[in-house]
Amino acid sequence: MIGPAPYHVAMSASPTGTEPGLPGFGATDSIWSAEHRALTVGLSLTVTLVAFESLAVATIMPEVQDDLGGLALYGWVFSGFFLASLIGIVLAGQLADRRGLALPFGLGLALFATGLVVGGAAQSMPMLVAGRLAQGFGAGAIPAVAYAAIGRGLPNPLRPVMFATMSTAWVVPGLIGPAIASGVEHLWTWRIVFLGLLPILAVAFVMTLPVLRTLDQANPAAPAPLDQRRLLRVVILVLGVGAVLAATDVPLAVAVALVVAGVPAAAWAFGVLQPPGTARLAPGVPATVAVRGLLTCAFFTGDAYVSLAIVDGRGADTWVAGLALTAGAVCWTLGAWTQARAIERFGPRRLVGIGMTIIATGLTALVVSLAYLPIAVSIVVWGFAASGMGLAYPTLSVTVLALAARGEEGAASSALQLSDTLGQAIGTGVGGGIIAIADAKGWTVTTGTSIVFVMALVVALTGVLASRRLPASTD
């Protein structure tokens, strides 16, 4: 998904001069000029839609689970979304290069809309998970199309501004999304949170599709077959990880079979999809890619279950859990802006290490505060943890582009994005498995979520150590 990171990725290049092949571009041009306004509004609205949906679902999930039951599948609402988005990202990226931008964008929004309808109509947790799989597949197409559209539709000096605008599109949902979702759930039903996004999605589709078709006409794609080998490897990775995550709530013999089949398949696919040396933290791009996966695994494991811990664990309303997510979104943004000013002074190694340490400290404090302190402390603590994410996440984006060999920036960015999404899928999936086991054993929700947060803490501490493999500077 497109969050605060794209702005900082774009800022790694100096926006000077004019873009060859785009005559008429001058100092007065902007992303809001008549030529670019439709693309700017359409992409920003689409990102806002995904951001709002992401934060809203995390806010209301405790109430959804109370209504539908199936606590064992709680984690699959998140991990299923991320696993499906991996396939969506790769497929949409290939379609954008080989068939143009309009086709993957239209297919992506159609699947996202299908997922919203299925989610809003869900009568059981398996049905909700199915809807989230469709949403994830569709959501994966959005960043792939957006990056390509910006590259083809905007001159170089405007691209950093566009990335900044798209990152800002997360701020408003972060401030009001959880509150609106909680209010809708209290006044009507949580189903409106899913179904109510359909009109916004329709507006984004109508505004953006004609612009993408125009870009396709100006930059005709050279028809070519899809890279079926890469697609197959991604599918094997997703199925392998999915098999392991599914092993927590099945009979022992089935669980063993799933793990025996899933681990080798996922490990092989990950090894061939990522830069050589990623698993052993080889210096350079491999270590940067690996640390990114540890970072997202640690943070998003906590982010997915903080609402459950506050609502079902402490008995608070969903709007209180929404405050924690809002604090996280705001503090992430503040941390990201701090990173932009601090990276040259501190360098990637120190800055990512500091960010990871802040996340680890926040997770530790979260476990303590949820057990013994007022809920307000937990809200502040999660905001503090998210500020560490803001420091580390964009720093890794800048670092991987600085380390990539000339002409290989795209491959390095793709590896980073895969590790990013995979970390989220594994973290939320394993967390869901822990919740399922805790529920089966009759443990309290507070006990189950505390174990999840401790697991995330271990990953964060591993990330602190792994960050020592990053370069001291980006020069």
pLDDT at residue 27 greater than cutoff 60: no
Q: What is the mean pLDDT of residues 230-245?
A: 92
Please say which residue of 207, 222, 237 terminates a domain. 222
Q: What is the mean pLDDT of residues 292-299?
A: 95
Please say which residue of 273, 292, 307 terminates a domain. 273
d(CA 75, CA 70): 10
Please choose, from the candidates 340, 356, 301, the residue with its C-alpha nearest in 3D space to the C-alpha of residue 467: 356
User: Are residues 328 and 448 both part of a single domain?
Assistant: yes
CA distances from 283 to 38, 288, 291, 317, 456 (A): 42, 8, 11, 46, 24
User: Are residues 359 and 297 both part of a single domain?
Assistant: yes
User: Are residues 309 and 425 both part of a single domain?
Assistant: yes
What pLDDT is recorded for position 403? Answer: 82
User: Are residues 291 and 330 both part of a single domain?
Assistant: yes
What pLDDT is recorded for position 16? Answer: 32
Residue 22 lies inside a defined structural domain of this protein: no
Residue 310 lies inside a defined structural domain of this protein: yes
The pTM for the full model equals 0.81
User: Are residues 153 and 267 both part of a single domain?
Assistant: no
Out of 9-13, 32-36, 389-393, give the one with best mean pLDDT: 389-393
Out of 131-140, 340-349, 453-462, give the one with best mean pLDDT: 453-462
Q: Which residue has the tokens 């396939």?
A: 87
d(CA 133, CA 139): 10
User: Are residues 235 and 330 both part of a single domain?
Assistant: no
Residue 23 lies inside a defined structural domain of this protein: no
User: Are residues 357 and 400 both part of a single domain?
Assistant: yes
Residue 26 lies inside a defined structural domain of this protein: no
Please say which residue of 273, 308, 333 terminates a domain. 273
Q: Residue 169 corresponds to which tokens in the numbers above? A: 């599109």
Query: SS in 3 state form for the chain?
Result: CCCCHHHHHHCCCCCCCCCCCCCCCCCCCCCCCCCCHHHHHHHHHHHHHHHHHHHHHHHHHHHHHHHHCCHHHCCHHHHHHHHHHHHHHHHHHHHHHHHCCHHHHHHHHHHHHHHHHHHHHCCCHHHHHHHHHHHHHHHHHHHHHHHHHHHHHCCHHHHHHHHHHHHHCCHHHHHHHHHHHHHHHHHCCCHHHHHCCHHHHHHHHHHHHHHHHHHHHHCCCCCCCCCHHHHHHHHHHHHHHHHHHHHHCCCHHHHHHHHHHHHHHHHHHHHHHCCCCCCCCCCCHHHHHHHHHHHHHHHHHHHHHHHHHHHHHCCCCHHHHHHHHHHHHHHHHHHHHHHHHHHHHHHHHHHHHHHHHHHHHHHHHHHHHHHHCCHHHHHHHHHHHHHHHHHHHHHHHHHHHHHCCCCCHHHHHHHHHHHHHHHHHHHHHHHHHHHHHHHHCCCCHHHHHHHHHHHHHHHHHHHHHHHHHCCCCCC
Q: What is the mean pLDDT of residues 433-452?
A: 91
Q: Which residue has the tokens 């507006």?
A: 203
What pLDDT is recorded for position 4? Answer: 43
Share of the chain above pLDDT 70, in %: 91
Which residue would you say has higher pLDDT here, 341 or 164? 341
What pLDDT is recorded for position 14? Answer: 29
Residue 461 lies inside a defined structural domain of this protein: yes
Residue 4 lies inside a defined structural domain of this protein: yes
Number of domains in the chain: 3
Asked if residue 141 lies in contact with residue 92, where contact means CB atoms within 8 angstroms, the answer is yes
CA atoms within 13 A on the CB side of 336: 26
Asked if residue 247 lies in contact with residue 262, where contact means CB atoms within 8 angstroms, the answer is yes
Q: Which CATH number belongs to the domain containing residue 72 in this structure?
A: 1.20.1250.20
Could you give the dihedral angle defined by the CA atoms of residues 320, 325, 327 and 328, in that order, rounded to the nearest 10 degrees?
150
User: Are residues 131 and 240 both part of a single domain?
Assistant: no
Q: What is the mean pLDDT of residues 323-348?
A: 85
User: Are residues 379 and 351 both part of a single domain?
Assistant: yes
Residue 25 lies inside a defined structural domain of this protein: no
User: Are residues 96 and 242 both part of a single domain?
Assistant: no
What pLDDT is recorded for position 408? Answer: 63
User: Are residues 333 and 385 both part of a single domain?
Assistant: yes
Local confidence band at 410 (pLDDT 50, 70, 90 cut-offs): low
Name the residue range of residue 259's domain: 227-273
User: Are residues 64 and 127 both part of a single domain?
Assistant: yes
Please choose, from the candidates 323, 327, 325, the residue with its C-alpha nearest in 3D space to the C-alpha of residue 335: 327
d(CA 137, CA 456): 26
Residue 19 lies inside a defined structural domain of this protein: no
